[in-house]
C-alpha cells in the first residue's frame, strides 16, 4: 500500500484544484484580479470598444503609438491596425532575430449584426423592425427573447464617426428579437431540429412602434419614418448612413459573479476577451521587468469567421508590426531578418477551451478535457476529426512550456476540446505556425462557450494571466 502511494505520488499526472492547491493569499489575489476583468467585459463588448479601452490604458502606462507622426518610439509601443486589430510590443535587449515571445488572441465574439440596410416596417403589424445577420457560431435560439443592447459606430460621408451604445444603462431601452410563444409552436418549431426552428430571417429586432404623425394625413411607412426621425434627432444619421455602419446586437447588462461562493464569472464575450485581458495585463507587467527577449501581444479580429480579412490573423499585420519593431530597435530589417525573427519565435495562441459541462458530460472525455477551477488549459492540438486544421504543437515546445509553468507554479491542466469525432473547432494557432514559429494553444476553459452568458472560473482566469506572464519572462 505504501509503495502504491509512492508510485502514485511520483509517477501519476493529476490536475490540481486551484482552491485546494494554492495559498489563501494567492486565492485572494485571484479573486481581486477578476474584479478588473468583470469591468472590462462589461465595458468592452465589441472589437472597437476593446481597442479603445486598451489604448487608453496603454497611453496611461507610457506606451507610444508606433504610427504617431513626430513621436520618437520607445521600448514600449503599440499599433492599432484599421481600427480592428491591435499589437503591443515591449522591446527587450536581445537581438530579435534570436526569436521573440508572442501571445495572440482575438477580440471578436459571436453576435448579431444589423444588416447593411436594416430598417423595415412590417406591413401587418405596423412595427418598425431591424433586420439582422448573425456573426460567428451562435445557437440562434439563445438570442431570442433576451435583452439586447445595440453597440457600434456609424461613419458618415464626411468621415465623422458616431459612437452608438443603447441599452446598457437603466434609463435606456433594450431590444428584443421575440421568440414564438409555446402555445403556437407546434408546427413552426416543436418538431424541427435546432438548426431549423429559428431561421436567420426570424431574427428581427422590434425597433419601434409609434408612427410619425401629421394632422389628417395617412402616411405610408409612418413607423419607419418615425424611427429615422428619432435617429436623425439623436445621432444625425440618415438611412443611407447604415451602409457605412457597424452595429452589433450584444447581450445587455454587466458581467457578474456567479455561484454562491462567487468563484465564477458569468458574462458575454469571454471567448476570447478573457485571453485579451489576461495577456494584456501580462505584457503590462513585463514592461517593468528586465527581460532580454522582446514580448509582443496581438489582438486579432474575425477569428470567429475564419481569421480572414484585414484585422484577422492571416493579415500581413503580423509581419508589418514585427518589421517595425526591428526597425525601431535598429536591427537589420530586411525580409531575411524578419523571417528569421519569426521562425525563432515562440507563440501562445491564446484562446478558450471547452470546460466539462456537467449538464452534457457525454461530449467530453474527462481525462483529456479542461475542468473548471483546475487552472489554465494546455492544448496540443485543436481541430476536428483526425486533428483536421489543427496546429499540433511539437513535443519539444510542449515540454519547454510545461517546464516553465511548473517552475513558476502556474496551475495548468491538459485540455482537449471535446471527445474525438464529437465536433471541434480551431484557433489562430495554424495561421501563426505558417510563419515558422513554435505555436501552442493555451487558455482557460469556459462552460457554455459562445452563449450569452459564458461561465469561467476566477481560478482559471488568474492562472491564465500567470501562465502568459511566465511565458514572457522565461520562454
Ligand atoms: Mn476563441
Ligand atoms: Mn469562438
DSSP codes, 231-275: HHHHH---GGGGGGEEEEEEE-S--EEESTT--EEEETTHHHHHH
Answer whether 295's CB lies under 8 Å from 75's CB.
Answer: no
| 271 CA to centre of ligand 2 in angstroms | 5
- Sorting pLDDT into bands at 50, 70 and 90, what band is 438? very high
In this predicted structure, what is the pLDDT of residue 134?
98
Q: For residue 419, what is the DSSP state?
A: S
pTM: 0.97
Mean pLDDT of 6-14: 93
- State the Cα–Cα distance between residues 84 and 64, nearest whole angstrom: 18
| 126 CA to centre of ligand 1 in angstroms | 40
Mean pLDDT of 391-419: 95
Instruction: Report the C-alpha dihedral over residues 64, 69, 72, 74, rounded to 10 degrees.
Output: 20
Mean pLDDT of 311-339: 95
Collapsed DSSP state (helix, strand, coil) of residue 356 = coil
Answer whether 304's CB lies under 8 Å from 135's CB.
Answer: yes
Collapsed DSSP state (helix, strand, coil) of residue 355 = strand
**Mean pLDDT computed over every residue of the chain:** 96
Which residues have C-beta within 8 Å of that of residue 263, sequence separation ≥ 6?
Answer: 19, 373, 457, 458, 459
| 272 CA to centre of ligand 2 in angstroms | 7
Kindly identify the ligand whose nearest atom is closest to the C-alpha of 137. Answer: 2
In this predicted structure, what is the pLDDT of residue 353?
96
Which residue, among 146, 6, 83, has the nearest Cα to 451 in the 3D structure? 146
Instruction: Point out the least confidently predicted range of 296-300, 337-341, 418-422, 466-470.
Output: 418-422
Kindly identify the ligand whose nearest atom is closest to the C-alpha of 305. Answer: 2
| 467 CA to centre of ligand 2 in angstroms | 21
Which residue, among 349, 356, 339, has the nearest Cα to 392 in the 3D structure? 349
CA angle 121, 246, 141 (to 5 degrees): 65
Residue 71 above 90 pLDDT?
A: no
Residue 218 above 90 pLDDT?
A: no
| 427 CA to centre of ligand 1 in angstroms | 6
Q: How far apart are the first and last CA of the chain?
A: 40
- State the Cα–Cα distance between residues 412 and 418, nearest whole angstrom: 18
Kindly identify the ligand whose nearest atom is closest to the C-alpha of 106. Answer: 1
In this predicted structure, what is the pLDDT of residue 273?
98
Which residues have C-beta within 8 Å of that of residue 317, sequence separation ≥ 6?
Answer: 81, 85, 87, 298, 310, 311
Kindly identify the ligand whose nearest atom is closest to the C-alpha of 136. Answer: 2
Kindly identify the ligand whose nearest atom is closest to the C-alpha of 379. Answer: 1
- State the Cα–Cα distance between residues 345 and 397, nearest whole angstrom: 11
Residue 1 above 80 pLDDT?
A: no
| 141 CA to centre of ligand 1 in angstroms | 21
Element (H, E) at 49: helix 47-60
List Cα–Cα distances, 126 to 121, 206, 211, 225, in angstroms.
6, 11, 8, 12
| 126 CA to centre of ligand 2 in angstroms | 37
- State the Cα–Cα distance between residues 390 and 381, nearest whole angstrom: 6
- Sorting pLDDT into bands at 50, 70 and 90, what band is 61? very high
Kindly identify the ligand whose nearest atom is closest to the C-alpha of 110. Answer: 2
| 454 CA to centre of ligand 2 in angstroms | 11
| 304 CA to centre of ligand 2 in angstroms | 5
CA-based max dimension of the chain: 95
In this predicted structure, what is the pLDDT of residue 12?
94
| 188 CA to centre of ligand 1 in angstroms | 33
| 138 CA to centre of ligand 2 in angstroms | 9
| 300 CA to centre of ligand 1 in angstroms | 10
- Sorting pLDDT into bands at 50, 70 and 90, what band is 72? confident
C-alpha cell, 69: 507622426
Mean pLDDT of 86-113: 97
Provide the phi-psi class of 32: left if phi over 0, else alpha when psi is between -120 and 50, else beta: alpha
Residue 474 above 80 pLDDT?
A: yes
In this predicted structure, what is the pLDDT of residue 389?
85
Kindly identify the ligand whose nearest atom is closest to the C-alpha of 349. Answer: 1
Answer whether 305's CB lies under 8 Å from 76's CB.
Answer: no
| 301 CA to centre of ligand 2 in angstroms | 11
- Sorting pLDDT into bands at 50, 70 and 90, what band is 366? very high
Mean pLDDT of 12-39: 97
| 168 CA to centre of ligand 2 in angstroms | 23
Which residue, among 382, 372, 376, has the nearest Cα to 455 in the 3D structure? 372
| 450 CA to centre of ligand 2 in angstroms | 6
| 418 CA to centre of ligand 1 in angstroms | 15
Instruction: Point out the least confidently predicted range of 130-144, 299-313, 331-345, 375-389.
Output: 375-389
| 109 CA to centre of ligand 2 in angstroms | 7
CA angle 272, 248, 299 (to 5 degrees): 30
Mean pLDDT of 289-313: 96
C-alpha cell, 256: 457578474
| 28 CA to centre of ligand 1 in angstroms | 28
- State the Cα–Cα distance between residues 457 and 371, nearest whole angstrom: 10
| 268 CA to centre of ligand 2 in angstroms | 12
| 275 CA to centre of ligand 1 in angstroms | 9
Residue 215 above 90 pLDDT?
A: no
| 121 CA to centre of ligand 2 in angstroms | 34
Kindly report the number of other CB atoms within 10 A of residue 87's CB atom: 24
Residue 27 above 90 pLDDT?
A: yes
| 353 CA to centre of ligand 1 in angstroms | 8
Mean pLDDT of 93-97: 96
| 269 CA to centre of ligand 1 in angstroms | 9
**Helices vs. strands in the chain: H and E counts, helices first:** 12, 22
| 415 CA to centre of ligand 1 in angstroms | 14
- Sorting pLDDT into bands at 50, 70 and 90, what band is 462? very high
In this predicted structure, what is the pLDDT of residue 333?
87
Kindly identify the ligand whose nearest atom is closest to the C-alpha of 105. Answer: 1
Q: 235-285 pLDDT, tens per residue?
A: 999 999 999 999 999 999 999 999 999 999 999 999 999 999 999 999 999
- Sorting pLDDT into bands at 50, 70 and 90, what band is 429? very high
- State the Cα–Cα distance between residues 273 and 285, nearest whole angstrom: 18
- State the Cα–Cα distance between residues 436 and 297, nearest whole angstrom: 18
Amino acid at each position: 500500500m505504501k509503495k502504491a502511494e509512492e508510485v502514485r505520488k511520483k509517477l501519476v499526472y493529476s490536475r490540481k484544484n486551484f482552491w485546494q492547491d494554492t495559498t489563501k493569499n494567492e486565492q485572494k489575489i485571484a479573486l481581486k484580479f477578476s474584479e478588473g476583468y468583470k469591468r472590462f467585459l462589461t465595458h468592452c463588448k465589441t472589437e472597437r470598444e476593446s481597442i479603445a479601452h486598451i489604448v487608453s490604458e496603454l497611453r496611461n502606462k507610457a506606451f507610444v503609438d508606433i504610427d504617431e507622426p513626430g513621436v520618437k518610439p520607445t521600448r514600449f509601443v503599440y499599433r492599432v491596425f484599421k481600427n480592428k486589430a491591435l499589437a503591443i510590443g515591449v522591446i527587450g535587449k536581445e537581438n530579435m532575430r534570436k526569436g521573440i515571445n508572442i501571445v495572440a488572441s482575438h477580440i471578436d465574439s459571436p453576435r448579431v449584426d444589423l444588416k447593411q440596410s436594416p430598417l423595415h416596417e412590417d406591413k401587418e403589424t405596423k412595427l418598425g423592425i431591424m433586420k439582422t445577420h448573425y456573426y460567428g457560431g451562435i445557437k440562434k435560439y439563445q438570442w431570442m427573447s433576451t435583452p439586447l443592447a445595440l453597440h457600434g459606430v456609424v461613419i458618415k460621408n464626411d468621415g465623422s464617426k458616431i459612437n452608438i451604445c443603447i441599452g446598457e444603462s437603466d434609463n435606456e431601452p433594450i431590444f428584443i428579437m421575440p421568440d414564438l410563444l409555446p402555445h403556437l409552436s407546434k408546427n413552426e418549431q416543436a418538431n424541427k431540429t435546432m438548426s431549423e426552428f429559428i431561421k436567420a430571417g426570424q431574427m428581427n429586432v422590434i425597433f419601434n412602434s409609434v408612427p410619425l404623425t401629421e394632422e389628417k394625413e395617412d402616411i405610408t411607412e409612418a413607423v419607419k419614418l418615425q424611427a429615422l426621425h428619432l435617429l436623425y434627432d439623436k445621432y444625425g444619421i440618415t438611412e443611407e448612413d447604415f451602409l457605412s455602419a457597424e452595429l452589433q446586437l450584444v447581450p445587455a447588462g454587466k458581467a457578474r459573479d456567479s455561484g454562491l461562493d462567487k468563484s465564477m464569472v458569468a458574462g458575454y464575450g469571454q471567448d476570447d476577451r478573457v485571453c485579451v485581458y489576461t495577456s494584456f495585463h501580462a505584457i503590462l507587467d513585463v514592461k517593468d521587468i528586465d527581460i532580454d527577449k522582446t514580448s509582443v501581444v496581438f489582438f486579432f479580429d474575425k477569428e470567429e469567421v475564419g481569421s480572414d480579412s484585414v484585422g484577422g490573423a492571416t493579415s500581413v499585420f503580423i509581419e508589418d508590426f514585427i518589421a517595425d519593431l526591428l526597425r525601431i530597435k535598429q536591427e537589420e530589417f530586411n525580409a531575411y531578418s524578419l523571417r528569421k525573427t519569426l521562425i525563432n519565435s515562440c507563440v501562445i495562441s491564446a484562446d478558450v477551451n471547452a470546460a466539462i459541462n456537467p449538464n452534457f458530460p457525454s461530449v467530453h472525455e474527462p481525462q483529456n478535457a479542461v475542468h473548471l477551477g483546475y487552472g489554465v488549459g494546455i492544448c496540443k492540438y485543436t481541430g476536428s476529426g483526425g486533428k483536421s486544421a489543427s496546429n499540433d504543437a511539437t513535443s519539444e515546445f510542449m515540454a519547454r512550456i510545461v517546464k516553465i509553468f511548473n517552475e513558476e507554479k502556474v496551475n495548468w491542466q491538459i485540455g482537449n476540446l471535446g471527445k474525438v469525432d464529437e465536433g471541434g473547432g480551431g484557433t489562430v494557432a495554424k495561421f501563426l505556425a505558417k510563419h515558422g514559429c513554435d505555436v501552442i494553444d493555451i487558455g482557460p476553459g469556459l462552460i457554455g462557450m459562445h452563449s450569452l452568458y459564458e461561465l469561467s472560473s476566477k481560478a482559471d482566469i488568474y492562472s491564465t494571466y500567470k501562465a502568459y506572464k511566465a511565458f514572457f519572462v522565461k520562454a
